[in-house]
Amino acid sequence: MNKTVRLLIIILCLPLFIAAEDVKNIQINGVSGKLLDNIQTRLTEIAQNKSLKEESEEELRAQVIKAMTPYGFFKPTIRISYQPNKIIFNIIPGPRLIVTKIDTNIIGAGKDNPRFSQALKELPIKSGKPFNSANYETAKQNLMSVAEQEGYLRASFEKSEVLIDRKQYKATIILIFDTGPQYYFGQVRFDPTYISPDLLHRFVPFKYGQPYSADKVLEFNNYLSGSGYFKAVNVQPKQNENSQIIPLDVHLQRASRINYSLGLGFGTDTGIRGKAGVHVVPVNRAGHKFNAVALGSFNENTLQSQYVIPGQNPITDQYEALGSFSNLNYNAAYSNSLLLSLAQRHNLPTFQRLLSLNALYERFNYDDQPTFGNKTKNTLYPKATFTWLNKSDQLFSPNGYKVTLTGLGATKALFSDINFSQALLDARAAYMVNPIRTRFFFHTIQGITVINDIYQLPVSLGFLLGGSDNLKGYNYNALGPGKILTYGGIEVQKETVENWYVIGFYDVGDVYKPRAKNIKQDVGLGLMWVSPVGPIKIGIAQAIESDFKLTSGKKPKLVINIGPDL
């Protein structure tokens, strides 16, 4: 049986092997770029059914011309020569066909819609430019896309033609687009459910009477699916032949109200770590949520509860009440703290804002503080965090950036034991050089704290450096505290096999009070795998001095980092 299966696989794959061998022995001269790619693709398709050497020169020449005409080359000169193990195509492309006239017209109910007028102005086909079939198809698709967005569900081309005059070697493009009638959103009707109808209607991203759009329906479906309230969502348009109003029926399947989570992991910063949580969604008909999470590791332990209230726009806004107890045990400091926080969160695809008022009780000490003993501080402080981001993928984006700016402060005049103000900038950027499949990742952190005595600032608010996210050659949060934090790092990631990268990195920075004495540096090498759950980096980092000599007493350090870097 196994022999039969293997034989069947070999027989099925044999045409592919033959095609690969044929294409490998082809040389094409005189063309490049997309035109070359299209010719190679055409010849590959032919070779899957029949060896190219068995085809006549006339047939091969005809197939090459077919591959060139979409790019406007209708009069190429093609010479074919044969060597024992190679077929050589010498091509002179000749002149490109020029579009001399474009005749466009919008008819139907949408003929006066300004969106179509704008679309016609932006068509990728231009009179006086070479003909390109891809641009022609894009032009047609652009008009159809506008129709779909504006509710013209029966739009079609009454005429779409490319007329080629081979004698005068010119082309005329005719596009006559009939929009048909325009359709509009009607009422949205939800299945009876445990969630308040008022909250459900706040997820609707369109209004009654707005032009119908399939994209808006999909967006609506995604908003409900991502809310956490439902296991399944089905939004069904109810189109009536006799009406241009389209109501929507929304069918909802309730998700489990109470869920539990358990997790176990490892990181070079924290060692073995565990996580346990309980999540109640929703708490009530108003859609409130409750989360309680316990996190444990060798140097960080936290017990946290969070109560979330949807905002007026539940897609982008929410209010939070948070309480947490934390135990931090770093090389540079130790603390136990209790934090109570009220916050308002606003999230957009490219911008996030978090405004909070925080009450902190913390008992702490720093290892290098001048006086021995724990300190206890009560701090009431507002905090604002703004994030700007641009990335193509949530897990791994070849290009993009993320910039986070945080500001906070406290005064003795308003129920705090200390006066301080603080600002922190964390900026990350990535750029992929595609020709050499190399990604450059840049990361900088800059911060300043204004306070008389830095040792009076609670550890949870202080500047600390060290670990897999910044100075990789130093232990996690081993450097600090200080009034000034400065860090910069660069990582070069070279793709060797698909989704596998060899990486090299260099970091420099320090936390100082207030003048820098000995800026820390490290270098290292490693591997990165872009897995289905995000990038996983494993490397070796070595602390070095300014003259690039190894830092005395600092051994090479294993670094493991899991998760997106933007």
CATH number (domain holding residue 233): 3.10.20.310
Q: Look up residue 179 and give its DSSP letter.
A: -
* Residue 381 sits in the same domain as residue 443: yes
Kindly state whether residues 198 and 80 are assigned to the same domain: no
Both tokens assigned to 152? 């013209």
C-alpha separations of 351 from 32, 241, 271, 404, 559 in Å: 41, 42, 33, 10, 31
- Helix, strand, coil % over all residues of the chain, rounded to 5: 20, 50, 30
163: Cβ–Cβ under 8 A, 6 or more apart, which residues? 171, 172, 173, 174
Among the candidates 92, 114, 142, a domain finishes at 92
* CA count, 13 A, side-chain hemisphere, 102: 17
Q: In terms of domains, do 133 and 213 share one? A: no
Residue 386 sits in the same domain as residue 456: yes
Both 541 and 393 in a single domain? Answer: yes
Query: Are 464 and 400 within one domain?
Result: yes
What are the b/e assignments for 222-261, b being 16+ CB within 10 Å? ebbeebebbeebebeeeeeeeeeebbbebebeeeeeeeee
Domain hosting residue 216, numbered range: 184-254
**CA neighbor of 417 nearest in space, from 390, 447, 453:** 453
Q: Are residues 326 and 443 in the same domain?
A: yes
Q: Which two tokens stand for residue 218?
A: 């999909």
Q: d(Cα 404, Cα 447) in Å, to the nearest integer? A: 12
Could you read off the pLDDT tens digit of each residue along the chain, which spans 566 residues? 455 444 443 334 434 334 444 445 788 899 888 899 898 888 888 877 777 777 778 888 888 999 999 999 999 998 988 887 788 889 999 999 999 999 999 999 999 999 999 999 999 999 999 999 999 999 999 999 999 999 999 999 999 999 999 889 999 999 999 999 999 999 999 999 999 999 999 999 999 999 999 999 999 999 999 999 999 999 999 988 889 999 999 999 999 999 999 999 888 898 899 999 999 999 999 999 999 999 999 999 999 999 999 999 999 999 999 999 999 999 899 999 999 999 999 999 999 999 999 999 999 999 887 777 789 999 999 999 999 999 988 889 999 999 999 999 999 999 999 999 999 999 999 999 998 999 999 999 999 999 999 999 999 999 999 999 999 999 999 998 999 999 999 999 999 999 999 999 999 999 988 777 789 999 999 999 999 988 999 999 999 998 888 988 899 999 998 889 98
Listed residue (344, 342, 333) closest to 375, CA to CA:
333
| Residue 248 sits in the same domain as residue 387 | no
Q: What is the pLDDT of residue 8?
A: 42
Q: Which of 57, 77, 92 is the last residue of a domain?
A: 92
Query: In this structure, are strands 289-296 and 156-165 parallel, antiparallel, or unpaired?
Result: unpaired
Rg over CA atoms, the chain? 32
Could you give phi then psi for residue 528, rounded to 5 degrees? -130, 130
Residues 392 and 503 in one domain: yes
CA distance linking residue 279 with residue 285, whole number of Å: 16
Same domain, 383 and 467: yes
Extract the runs of DSSP E, i.e. beta strands, from 71-111. 77-83, 86-92, 98-107
Residue with tokens 């603390």: 335
Preceding amide of 192 cis, omega within 30: no
Residue 23: predicted pLDDT: 47
- pLDDT of res. 14: 39
Q: Is residue 533 domain-shared with residue 554, that is, in the same domain?
A: yes
C-alpha to C-alpha distances, 395 to 221, 497, 535, 536, 557, nearest whole angstrom:
22, 19, 7, 11, 26
At residue 13, the pLDDT reads 42
pLDDT of residue 24: 54
Residues 104 and 198 in one domain: no
Last residue of a domain, one of 59, 92, 125: 92
* Vertex 265: Cα angle to 229 and 300 (nearest 5): 90
Q: What is the CATH number of the domain that holds 524?
A: 2.40.160.50
pLDDT of 20 reads 42
- Report how many domains make up the chain: 5
